[in-house]
Amino acid sequence: MKLRVHGLLALSGLLLLAVFWLGPAPVSAQEDMVQLRPEALQPATRPAALFKHDEHNEKAHLEDQCIVCHHSGADGVLVADETSEGTPCADCHTVEKGKKQTALRQAYHRRCMNCHKAKGRGPTHCSGCHDKRHP
Amino acid sequence: MNAFYNFATGPLAWAAFAVFIGGSVYRIWSMIQLAKQKEAAFISYMSLPHALRSIVRWLIPFGTLGWKENPSITLATFLFHICLFVLLIFTPAHEVLWSYAFGFTFPVIPEVLADTLTLVVIGACCFFVHRRLTNIQVRYVTTGKDWLALGIATAPFITGFLASQQFADGQIMTLLHVLCGEAMLVAIPFTRLSHALFQPLTRAYIASEFGAVRHVQDW
């Protein structure tokens, strides 16, 4: 009887370990992205903007139009047809505004809000993205 | 709802600023014309040094006999106006809109301080309401216009506080806050809130007579 209990305990322990080992990988890939939380803008005043990458792009019909957000350019001039997937926004857009470079926070706000306004869909008010219920 | 919010924060905001600036210029211009017509002799006595001295003096809390006479109204008035200007400019969410629209940034106050100052303003407004209802002299001279001005001045702060607390779904309160702010801008030239435009002229008028003619202080 005692052996059986120990056996069960050991088995559940092993199962727990397996769950932790094989559980969700660290969130880093775009498809797992749920919030925009650039390190450069920490500590943030508001909760990070909710942004489920794949779900958003499916709804907005942007699956094959990565360049809308992942653009390329320098000195304030966009390079047509050159995308920049994999490069975080903060790699080019610094927190402080450059001479011909949009500041990081403004780049986020303009990218999201201008598109939402142009399409007439998606939130443009503060708590529409920075939701205190999802800090 | 999104479309109306975008209209309220876009074209309607520009229209509100246009009416505010255009209306203010018109009201000040027409007041000067009226003064020239009715008080032509007085214009010659207008004295800028006396006017500036009086304006500065009356901007200091408890700096005048008038302010010392009613400490509670003095305290409420200064708290209301100082918090109004601080919140208007230095609320973090307001700075984000400046940065989004025009690309310039400036230091802001923490959100918790903005919320606290908003409650201070609402408290001051409650005091103004209480005073108008309970002080017999004030109640005697109070008309609908005074209640309208007080209501328009209070509304942006109540809706702003609820928007910042994300009351309901957040969007409706933010929308109401924007609309109340625009209503206040439009109301400044055309309601009792026009004291914001005429206060310097009123002080200049009294200060010039007291200072340049009677050679006495007007505080």
> What's the rounded Cα separation, in Å, for the pair B25 and B16?
14
Lowest mean pLDDT among A30-34, A52-56, B31-35, B158-162: A30-34
Q: What is the mean pLDDT of residues A18-42?
A: 62
Length of chain A: 135
Domains in chain B with CATH codes:
47-213 (1.20.950)
> What's the rounded Cα separation, in Å, for the pair B121 and B158?
9
> Which of B96, B106, B164, B167 would best serve as a mutation to test chain A binding (most A beta carbons within 10 A)?
B96
Q: CB distance B174–A123 less than 8 Å?
A: no
At A99, is the pLDDT very low, low, confident or very high (cuts 50, 70, 90)? Answer: confident
> What's the rounded Cα separation, in Å, for the pair B169 and A126?
11
Question: B140 or A37: which carries more pLDDT confidence?
Answer: B140
pLDDT exceeds 50 at position A73:
yes
Whether A125 and A116 have beta carbons less than 8 Å apart is answered as no
Question: A97 or B153: which carries more pLDDT confidence?
Answer: B153
Q: CB distance B166–A131 less than 8 Å?
A: yes
The predicted structure's pLDDT at residue A19: 42
> What's the rounded Cα separation, in Å, for the pair B135 and B72?
13
At A14, is the pLDDT very low, low, confident or very high (cuts 50, 70, 90)? Answer: low
* Range A87-91 contact pairs with CB under 8 angstroms and sequence separation of 24 or more: A88/A38, A89/A38, A90/A38, A90/A39, A90/A40, A90/A41
The predicted structure's pLDDT at residue A16: 47
What residue type is assigned to position B152 of the chain? I
Q: CB distance A97–B103 less than 8 Å?
A: yes
Give me the percent of chain A exceeding a pLDDT of 70: 77
Find the helix or strand (DSSP H, E) in which A78 lies.
strand A77-78
> Which of B1, B2, B4, B90 would best serve as a mutation to test chain A binding (most A beta carbons within 10 A)?
B2
Q: Which residues of B touch A110 (CB under 8 A)?
A: 100
Report, as ranges of residue numbers, the positions in chain B whose pLDDT lies below 70: none
Give me the percent of chain A exceeding a pLDDT of 90: 29
The predicted structure's pLDDT at residue B88: 97
Exposure of B145 by Cβ count < 10 A (0-12 exposed, 13-18 middle, 19+ buried)? exposed
The predicted structure's pLDDT at residue B123: 98
> DSSP letter at A66?
G
pLDDT exceeds 60 at position A23:
no
Shortest CA distance from B10: residue in chain A: A117
Q: CB distance A127–B103 less than 8 Å?
A: no
The predicted structure's pLDDT at residue B190: 96
At A63, is the pLDDT very low, low, confident or very high (cuts 50, 70, 90)? Answer: confident
Question: A114 or A82: which carries more pLDDT confidence?
Answer: A114
Domains in chain A with CATH codes:
30-129 (3.90.10.10)
Q: Which residues of B touch A106 (CB under 8 A)?
A: 99-100, 103
Residue ranges with strand state E in chain B: none
CA distance B3 to chain A (A): 6
The predicted structure's pLDDT at residue A20: 43
Output the CA angle B144-B149-B153, nearest 5 degrees. 145
At A17, is the pLDDT very low, low, confident or very high (cuts 50, 70, 90)? Answer: very low
Length of chain B: 219
CB pairs under 8 A between A and B: 57
